[in-house]
Structure 1
Amino acid sequence: MEWVPLLRWLHVLGACVLLGTGAGIAFFMVMAHRSGDAKVIAHTAHIVVIADFLFTASAVILQPVTGVLLAMLIGWRLTEGWLLLSIILYFVTGAFWLPVVWIQHRMKKLAKAAAQADSVLPPDYFRLYRIWFACGFPAFFSVLGIVWLMTNRPALDLW
């Protein structure tokens, strides 16, 4: 069996899941936040945490496995410019995504507590939301950059 087409498909599928889930999660969290309703935010954040665990985390594991296997089978060196830059951007994405996972969980707990107490969202929620929002931009644009590098494979001399 030729593994390259299957691995390429899995790799592209993983990239689609990362990009799509990231954009979807961001959209739904922003819309819930804009509602100002602690119950809506708590419910949305609960679903977002599950989606991040099921979809994003799975793709995060799938991407380096399929990427390294593809590179080995095709004969690409991991130090080729476009590939090395993709790997660097992958770590940049992870550096912003990992704190976001914890922040989403914390925001969910704060919103749930406010909803149960029928009170307003605490200042900590808003502080965490600003950090969550700010972390989304470099992570999202890094993924966009990776997809561009993956589809174009430009000749880059990083050394």
Structure 2
Amino acid sequence: MTINKEKVKLDDIDLQILRNLQVNGRMTNAKLAAKVGLSAPPMLERVKKLERSGIIKGYRAILDAKLLEQDFFVFVALNLNVSELANVAQFELKLAAMEEVMECHHIAGDIDFLLKVNVKDQEDYKQFVIENLAKIDGINRIHSWVVLSTVKDSTELCIDDSKKNK
């Protein structure tokens, strides 16, 4: 899929489409059209336009980690020793390749990288650190915070009407 990097013009209907698809990405074209007040053919064309532009990046199932017995989450902060780190891009590729790493953010402040890691349990996390993180050159310090409970977990962006293109 080719992504159009130019700024996409969004109107009220586009924003309604995005809000609805965030809540239910499997909503039929007909139901989505009815919700936003269009007929099915123009609705489908608008969705395709949003997909081509890259605003809609894809569709996926959201799994229940607890039911899959994969509900041990850890936030991991990495401090780097940049003098030992030859190539930040290579470092990032190594982190991105680890299936346990759900999110990887290069951030500003006292911490260089913040990861969201998912494993089965504490023992699996220990093995992840020993067998994966500790083997990457350039990491000076690893800080870990085990998630005790999750109050909110959302993939939905806050789509503000004032942000639409005029």
TM-score category (smaller protein) = under 0.3
Q: TM-score, normalised by structure 2?
A: 0.25
More strand per residue: 1 or 2?
2
Structure with greater Cα Rg = 2
Q: TM-score, normalised by structure 1?
A: 0.25
